[in-house]
Amino acid sequence: MPAAKSRKPYELFYWPGIPGRGEYVRLALEEAGAPYVDVAREREGGMDEMMALMEAEGTKHPAFAPPFLRDGRVVVGQVAAILFYLGPRLRLAPKSEVAALWTHQIELTITDFVAEAHDVHHPVGVGLYYEDQKKEAARRAEEFRGQRIPKFLDWFELVMEANGATKEKPHLVGRSLTYADLSLFHTVDGLKHAFPKAMGRLMKNRPLVSSLHSKVGKRPKIAAYMKSERRQPFGDGIFRHYPELDE
């Protein structure tokens, strides 16, 4: 974990073995150098502890599903809500209320984008194997590549243009890094893994989104994390590469 500071570590609860939605929280913690424990992955009995919290053992606020974060007596679930909580504490959110809410809105839009990416390979049901819905996935992928990815990327490009962003300082909000920048970085990274051909074409015409992805990946703490064993590779999670879905 990052070098410990003078505070009790945050506790992140997420399924071990895949980066998944937990990665959005990890990136914020890593960039801030905040101490944290990836409970189900690192702590003996961590999976049991996570499942107990989901079943309301020891909490009045059971999480519907991971990820969720525990900070002392505070337990908060859902990526956007976790980052809304962590943002000011990690200095990854603007100070003004208007800008903070705008950052949260962008994060919620990223959440929508991620959900659509997942549903490409599971368009019929999450309880079914991909092989049971390949025909439907092919149809969904065609629309996602041709219409939905461009629509989302164009919106993020527009947001940065309105923010006065440049290729040298490509930020979604304000003039410094926010958790929304980190989340867009990871989403683009995941899409480049899942749809390398499509993203290769689409990113050519989105210079600010492309620059954000490149520059966030080169930030010292993020780059170190990406090379570490803490960073889990994409696999059977949200962003999956099926060559037949990437034309």
- Span 231-241, mean pLDDT? 92
Rounded distance, CA 155 to CA 185, Å?
15
- Span 107-125, mean pLDDT? 96
Tell me the whole-structure pTM to 2 decimals.
Answer: 0.94
Q: Over the chain, what is the mean pLDDT?
A: 94
Q: What is the pLDDT of residues 19-76, one digit of tens each?
A: 999 999 999 999 999 999 999 999 999 999 999 999 987 778 888 999 999 999 999 9
Rounded distance, CA 141 to CA 91, Å?
37
- Span 212-221, mean pLDDT? 98
Range of lowest pLDDT (130-139, 144-153, 159-168, 217-226): 130-139
Residue 230: band (very low, low, confident or very high) from pLDDT cuts 50, 70, 90: very high
Q: What is the pLDDT of residues 152-185, one digit of tens each?
A: 999 999 999 999 999 999 999 999 999 999 999 9
Does the pLDDT value for residue 6 go beyond 70?
A: no
